Chains A and B, each alone.
Chain A
Amino acid sequence: WCWGHIISPRRDQSPMASVLLLWLAVCLSGTWAVDKGNFKTCDQSAFCKRQRALKPGESPYRALLETMELTNTRLTLQLINDNNKVRLLLELYRLQGNITRVKINELKPLKPRYEVPDVLIREPPTEPLSLLSQDENGVVLSLGAESQRVIVSARPFRLDIMEGRDVLMSLNSRGLLAFEHLRMRKDTFSYKVTSTVASVWDNIKRTAKEEEEKVEDGMWEESFKSHADSKPSGPSAVSLDFSLPGVEHVYGIPEHADTLRLKTTDNGDPYRLYNLDVFQYELYNPMALYGAVPVMLAHNAQRTTGIFWLNAAETWVDISSNTAGKTVFGKMLDYVQGSSETPQTDVRWISESGIIDVFIMLGPTPKDIFSQYASLTGTQSFPPLSALAYHQCRWNYNDQKDVQEVDAGFDEHDIPYDFIWLDIEHTDGKRYFTWDPHKFASPKEMLQGLVEKKRKMVAIVDPHIKVDSNYKIHNEIRSKGFYIKNKDGGDYEGWCWPGSAGYPDFTRADMRAWWASMFAYDQYEGSMENLYTWNDMNEPSVFNGPEVTMHKDAMHGAWEHRDVHNLYGFYVQMATAEGLIQRSGGVERPFVLTRAFFAGSQRYGAVWTGDNAAEWDHLKISIPMCLSLGLVGISFCGADVGGFFKSPSTELLVRWYQTGAYQPFFRAHAHLDTPRREPWLFGPENTALIREAVRQRYTLLPYWYQQFYQAHQTGEPIMRPLWVEYPQDPATFAIDDEFLIGRDLLVHPVTEEGARGVTAYLPGKDELWFDVHTFQKHNGAQNLYIPVTMSSIPVFQRGGSIIPRKLRVRRSSTCMEHDPYTLYVALNPQRTAEGELYIDDGHTFNYEKKEFILRKLSFTKNILSSVNMAPDAQFSTRSWIERIIILGASKPSKVTLKTAGGQESQVEFEFDASMSVLTLRKPGMNAGVDWSVTLQ
């Protein structure tokens, strides 16, 4: 929720609140949309304006080949800007796994420039680079694999990455490399220098003869609305362009409320990456939102590549394309007339400070990109199984009684849930780590009540700390000097939920260690094992700051907030997750939800799309928003089910449950000012519809859990765009109203009001897709019209897959731990199928100690078998196989089960000839052992 609502009229309205109310009334003037005026356009951000004013042309940079040094792992080379003679140092690395790293910094900066720490999981291992040729125009280096080369051209400087005769990517080919070197402020001299020492000033000017760039507005200070940015280091922006020949589709750079496929930005602002608390964000535009992952994927039918721009400062990304704006007819005309122009996308990154540190991931497949990116920043954390179940949230559940009643409501209406959430009102005056003494007087009693139902709770802990000398957390942070400082050296204070608040400096490892220790059971009073954490407002949100965030000249030790801004939320979640791990002695997996994020945030928990609204378009946008996050490693994504602001119609609420049930993070949430919307408040029919959607989620938990295990191993997205699995089918490239879960489930949620049907694209010309509800079989590579009713959730299982489910849906996922599995075997045209089954204890790190079961299930030649994929792992389960449903089967005469001891037994079956569905009744073998079932 959002800062705008500090003005919600409470009955205990203080004079200050009234003033704020008045202020807001003026400022919002009754509209519901974002107030764009609160956020900068590129033109209002001095460095962006400055950089964007540079037009493509010949680069002033030249590579000084004589400075080249090539070691086994690294090439270094100086670049010089012929306009001002400032030298840069280029470093080029070839990294393991087909990644090229290009680093550019000043050769001799006035003071060090910020290099992002802690995001890479390690110093990326390198591979040897070798020199293929060299002359006065440049050098050619081998990138090893598959005739890949880098050509370094000297004048003007550019880099081209080639494979065979194809250019995969070019850097600075449009000459937009720009590197604002750090410099002394000259105009401040002129302010101080009196006329009597004017001659001295002249001398100073003369010595600085190379640097005749004019001092522009906004270089040394700028202001936005009433906020001044003192910019003590002056201009320090960096910028670089990338050309992607043959590419018409680029993706990624979340977080934006926009389509999956990124749009060209020629006619508007670039996409902005700057973590901001945006009140009532608008859809389909490039404005910055709560999180930032500076990773872009480029895709065509032949290859996928990726660019990871490791910079945590405010960043803008421009995209242009030579085919954008051409109509289909125009493109056809080009084709017919043999127009020689290949499609090309050009991208340009602009950051306010830091250095250029870019990882070029060369694929070639989408999955290669995911593993390449994962090798740099890590994979999705493996959450407790229960976190994949349903979460019930609201701002706010009022008191313990309310919690108890909502909990009982779920049982009364037989709807499962695992987590109930408490928003900010549960605290004692927005002092995190505390409880309201009246409303939540005995939190442990409440938590124990949930333990008894095998359910859990999440309580919010935000990073803004109330400035109050009676508040332990504040006192400790202050006395340890852990607060971020303002430009004058005092503790930075901003206005947030508690009123005046300090912001701990999470960029400090010692601060994070202290913060983590606050989650210990003896520190966090009232906490228990089943209490988990939610980090909100960690952009950070500062109600009275510029763009509702922190002043850029606030100080994190030696660094300005400007340098580290986009990392703040990442660090908050990191420290919190660490706290949850430590409190259990390293045994239990944490669960932490965050709103702000950066590259690498996938390692610490889940992300949601922030303060959306109860509108159909917001339901629709939840799909591309989570798909974009998945592409850059953050799989554990969800949107507030029902929409945060406003009140959903019953139809929208039901459709949102049906959609959310098939997205990774499944949580209903609602704003304080909205009417209650627990699932049973909309009449028995709608209660039943919501119950069914939630139950579908629970039956699929084994599959979801296995997907998270996979994602944790590989970095592949769980909720994924169709093109990831069908990279050669251009029809899939722009689809973002449907998605895959893993490889095997295709979901096309109903997101239109009053829909009578949806048209789903079923990909893959050799694929079969089975409707999971009716078992009806459809061919791939077609647009399928599916009539829908209010109960429909169009979901298809891919022929060739085996999906385990647990059909005995209980109160919570933990209650289902020992329940038996039903295997859904969907045959492909070759009458084969395969899948996996992963089982562990569901909540500890013991899987790292090889305590798990991983089975490969395969159906071939009429034999379905379970084979151990992890022979060195050890785990036992009480779960067994109660049923096997084979879709697309023919009727056998006999079905025989063979288990490990060689024992054979007959299995009873039923065959539905109309749908070709064979159901094996109660084979009964343990889910963790070898077995095979033969159809005869």
Chain B
Amino acid sequence: CTCYLLLLLLSLGVSAVEVQRPRGVPLSKRQFYEEGKPFTCLDGSRTIPFDRVNDDYCDCEDGSDEPGTAACPNGSFHCTNAGFRPAFIPSSRINDGICDCCDTTDEYNSGAACQNTCRELGSKEREIMKEMAEIAKEGFLLKQQLIQEAKSGLEEKKAKLAEVQVSKKDLEDKLEALRTVKETAEQPEKEAKERHLKAWEDEKAAIRLEKDKAKMAEVFLELDDDADGFVSVADLLTHSELDPDSDGSFTEAEAQVKHFFLLDKVDTAAFESVWNNIKEKYVSESNADIPAPVETPQEETREPVPENDSEQYPEEDIPEEEEDDDEEDEDEDPDDGDYKTQEQKDDDDEGTMPPYDDQTQNLIDAAQKARNEFDEAEKALREVDDQIRNLEKEISFDFGPGAEFAYLYGQCYELSTSEYIYRLCPFNRVSQKPKYGGSETNLGSWGKWTGPEDNVYSLMKYEHGTGCWQGPNRSTTVKLTCGKETVVLSTSEPSRCEYLMEFTTPAVCQEPQSLYPDAHDHTEL
């Protein structure tokens, strides 16, 4: 085939407005292809005879000499698509057996049986456009409403904030006043309590002294085996627990040196100095069979636990270990433990502290009341602070140019699929919960708007959700499209742990006019 091919007026359905031009050339470029005149490649690189336009050989670097054949790797073909939208397709799709242009003009020599579907597509598209326009129209109205609501909502919030900030000031003042009241009431309370405690301590000391004396007398009798009114060194030696070096042999010399046993034997009065030396270790003969209570007071059996813990988790922070060490030091001293139990026992014997007298009790009650009032005020202040923080956060949120997305704040929208319930809480988080039991998975928390520069508010990104095995943390992109209602349309997981959610809202609806960006192209039809 040597000739260039003109777009002929063969098709009966097309009216006579068609203008002669080489195949594949859009009307807008017709003037560059003047029949019979040398053709200059559109990039100006060279000029060729006109019969080389569309001669199925690529002469121009930019592919402009072959608008109607597949000869150039970078060419493009224009389909008029009367009744539908005109389009450019890569010239590699000319005569490849696949119908790309609805007017079938791309398959003029491939044998492909293409049907002209432009009218059908056109009417379908118009229908969809109409529908979309309607949705957009209504949606846009709704959006205006949303903007209004957001505006008043914002003002309300700002007013509320101002109001709350004022009340915060009041609360702060009140709190200070209550603090003074509290402190004033607490001083006499403290003094009265200390007095009471001191009296009780004195009483306890007296009781303890009495008991010690009684015990000494008892021990004296016990040691004085021969009831001669004297305790001898020999008597003492039967008590191996008193061996100062615990080497298993309790010698007279040891007893004498260590326990001030200066004489061979002592009477009751002289025994007192001995008693002071031995009383902590002395085990009553009636109890001698029972092992000394050194090892296991009950609370101590639990003590090794923290120690074990620190062995199992050696990686634990050093400060904690230090704490453990302190405890251990105390716990490891058996005398100490012994002493503690002893004292507890004493406490039991000595009874409990007597109740406060009326005067003290009144002071305490007064202080407690002041404390409660102070705490309440403090709590109220904290609440107000929270409220302020929340309000400030909400006010500072980027809810779009007219704050039209503000109505989504604090709401949640669900989509139920065969397996899961997906939940989108805008500006908060996205989650997924299995329908039939199982725990919820966090698919991301609010991150930012991530639409393209000219349409930032078309995409939301939720990030840092539950981690994936050997993978990233889950995240979700929410794609917003115009709709009358606010609904989650679909969810998918195009890439592992990266979710995509489609969401309609009136807040993204544009003014309907702008839906026809290529309206002027239709003039070619």
Contacts and interface: CB of A to CB of B under 8 A. Distances in A.
Do A and B pair up? The answer is yes
Contacts of B493: 398
A808 B92 contact: yes
B4 interface: no
Interface string A271-291: 000000000000000000000
Interface in A60-76: none
B31 interface: no
Nearest to A819: B70
Interface string B98-116: 1000000000000000000
B73 A809 contact: yes
Given A414-B90, A674-B496, A811 B96 contact: yes
B41 interface: no
A472 interface: no
Interface string B430-470: 00101000100100000000000000000000000000111
16 contacts: A9-B468, A9-B469, A11-B434, A11-B438, A21-B469, A398-B493, A454-B97, A454-B98, A673-B471, A695-B73, A808-B71, A809-B73, A810-B70, A810-B92, A882-B56, A882-B71
Given A12-B434, A676-B494, A921-B57, A808 B468 contact: no
A747 to B, nearest CB: 22
B300 to A, nearest CB: 37
B468 A673 contact: yes
Contacts of A86: none
Interface residues of B, number: 31
A7 B92 CA distance: 45
Contact of B441 (A11, A453, A454, A672): A11
Interface in B478-525: 492-498
A38 interface: no
B23 to A, nearest CB: 17
A402 B71 contact: no
Given A11-B432, A807-B73, A398 B494 contact: yes
Nearest to B92: A810
B204 interface: no
A209 interface: no
Given A675-B495, A816-B96, 6 more contacts: A11-B420, A11-B441, A673-B470, A810-B93, A811-B98, A882-B71
Residue among B57, B98, B472 with the most chain A CB within 10 A?
B98
B98 A815 contact: yes
B419 to A, nearest CB: 7
Interface string A1-43: 0000001110110000000010000000000000000000000
B111 to A, nearest CB: 10
Interface string A427-456: 000000000001000000000000011100
Nearest to A671: B496
Contacts of B92: 414, 808-811, 815
A856 interface: no
List the 9 closest A-B pairs by CB distance, nearest first. Answer: A815-B96, A676-B495, A9-B469, A922-B57, A810-B92, A673-B471, A673-B496, A675-B495, A810-B96
A223 B471 CA distance: 36
B22 to A, nearest CB: 18
B418 interface: yes
Interface of B: 55-57, 70-71, 73, 90, 92-93, 96-98, 418-420, 432, 434, 438, 441, 468-472, 492-498
Contact of B57 (A452, A809, A819, A882): A882
Given A402-B494, A882-B71, A811 B93 contact: yes
Interface string A501-537: 0000000000000000000000000000000000000
A675 B498 contact: yes
A10 B89 CA distance: 42
A925 to B, nearest CB: 14
A11 B468 CA distance: 10
A8 B85 CA distance: 47
A791 B92 CA distance: 22
A438 B418 contact: yes
Given A11-B432, A21-B469, A676-B495, A453 B98 contact: yes
A676 B471 CA distance: 13
Contact of A398 (B93, B468, B492): B492
Size class of the A contact interface (CB-based, 8 Å): 20 to 34
A674 B497 CA distance: 9
A517 B205 CA distance: 103
Nearest to B496: A673
A530 B256 CA distance: 110
A546 B496 CA distance: 31
Nearest to B91: A808
B278 to A, nearest CB: 60
Nearest to B2: A924
A145 B438 CA distance: 77
Interface in A795-812: 807-811
A921 B49 CA distance: 14
Contacts of B93: 810-811
Contacts of B438: 11-12
B469 A673 contact: yes
A416 to B, nearest CB: 8
A676 B500 CA distance: 13
Contacts of A676: 494-495, 498
A672 B469 CA distance: 11
Contacts of B57: 882-883, 921-922
A898 B97 CA distance: 32
Given A8-B469, A11-B432, A808 B73 contact: yes
Contacts of A414: 90, 92
B477 to A, nearest CB: 12
A339 B434 CA distance: 77
Interface in A714-767: none
Nearest to A676: B495
Nearest to A396: B496
B96 A12 contact: no
A921 B418 CA distance: 62
Contacts of B55: 922
Contacts of B98: 452-454, 811, 815
A436 B325 CA distance: 61
A810 B420 CA distance: 42
Interface string A810-831: 1100011001000000000000
A398 to B, nearest CB: 7
Nearest to B492: A398
A453 B100 CA distance: 10
A809 B92 CA distance: 7
B246 to A, nearest CB: 50
Contacts of B472: 675
Contacts of A695: 73
B363 to A, nearest CB: 61
A672 B496 contact: yes
Nearest to A880: B56
Contacts of A807: 73
A862 B56 CA distance: 27
Nearest to A28: B470
Contacts of B96: 454, 810-811, 815-816
Interface in A667-686: 672-676
Contacts of A452: 98
Contacts of B441: 11
Interface string A399-416: 000100000000000100
A95 B77 CA distance: 61
Given A402-B494, A808-B70, A811-B93, A12 B419 contact: yes
Contacts of B420: 11
A586 B92 CA distance: 33
Contacts of B434: 11-12
A581 B492 CA distance: 38
Nearest to A406: B494
A452 B498 CA distance: 31
Contact of B97 (A7, A398, A808, A815): A815
B232 to A, nearest CB: 71
B149 to A, nearest CB: 36
